[in-house]
Chain A
Amino acid sequence: MVPDTRTYMIAGYVVIFSGMAVYVLSLMWRWRRRLAELAQVEEELREIGKAP
């Protein structure tokens, strides 16, 4: 008889997909934050006449 290990399989795939999703979301979040920082620094450089 095949043992019932369904719960462990589900737990394994939850870890895999949630781990990948969290990483992708962290990439997106960091990208947006860096773009906002870039816009801010460029604005400050423009104000002091050192525009890139």
Chain B
Amino acid sequence: MHKAPKALRLLDGVSVLLLVVATGMVFLYAPVERTMGLVQKVFYFHVSANWIGMLGFLVAAVAGGIYLARGNRFWDVLEVAAVEIGLVFSLIGIVTGSIWARPIWNTWWTWDPRLVTVAVMELIYIAYFMLRQGIEDPERRARYAAVYAIVGFLSVPLTFLSIRFYRSIHPVVITSSSAQLSPKMFQTFMFSLFTFTVLFVDLLWHRLRLGLLSEQVERLRMKLSE
């Protein structure tokens, strides 16, 4: 159980390879945007990181729902893994967005609907871990966390749609009718999204194994104290 399965090691290799190719496409294939200059290249991984964040929170909500329905601890472990990865990548998205904003908006931060909703979303999921820390009984903790992951997920579509519903200075790159990108930029963008999705599956698998190992250690500790 403790040695990584062959498929996971293969996925590690594929993820690294895809990341190298995506980075190459960003710097060597995608053209430089004329009004923003080189900083626009942050866009490809900034959006991809945010996508992984939201995907993580979606997986957590689904896992939470399945845990409530079945009561199997596996889904609780998966939920924690997905929230953790979602938090890390959302934070990367926020920080890179701030770096991109500085030369373009002339500020590191502004109280724009997108920035506010994404910050609130991040705080909601930080509070998820605070909630878990505050409950000692594992079953109760898993049940409350599952409900929280489902309710907390409401912040995700709100964040995604904020630039479409409210007046915002944040760009809307992909609309229902078109993408505001040149063909080479669009290909690089789609490849980056694909790369980060594969990376998410890889990291989720690793984090899930870690969670299951922790559960095993806890079970044996309980046996020791009996």
Write the residues of chain A forming the contact surface with B, with a CB cutoff of 8 angstroms: 2-6, 8-9, 11-13, 15-16, 19-20, 23-24, 27, 30-31, 34-35, 37-38, 41-42, 44-45, 48, 50, 52
Contacts and interface: CB of A to CB of B under 8 A. Distances in A.
A12 B23 CA distance: 13
Given A3-B103, A13-B45, A44-B224, A31 B36 contact: no
A8 B210 contact: no
Contacts of B99: 8, 11-12, 15
Interface residues of B, number: 39
B126 to A, nearest CB: 15
B5 to A, nearest CB: 14
Given A12-B39, A30-B210, 18 more contacts: A2-B32, A2-B34, A2-B37, A3-B35, A5-B39, A8-B42, A9-B38, A12-B41, A12-B96, A12-B100, A23-B85, A23-B88, A23-B203, A31-B213, A34-B210, A37-B217, A41-B221, A44-B224
A5 B213 contact: no
Contacts of B104: 5
B207 A27 contact: yes
18 contacts: A3-B35, A3-B36, A3-B37, A3-B103, A5-B104, A6-B37, A8-B42, A9-B37, A9-B39, A12-B39, A12-B96, A15-B99, A16-B42, A16-B45, A20-B92, A27-B210, A31-B210, A41-B221
B172 interface: no
Nearest to B4: A31
B2 A35 contact: yes
B101 to A, nearest CB: 9
Chain A facing B: main interface SS: helix
A27 B206 contact: yes
A42 B220 contact: yes
A12 B224 contact: no
A48 B140 CA distance: 31
A42 B41 CA distance: 50
Contacts of A41: 217, 220-221, 224
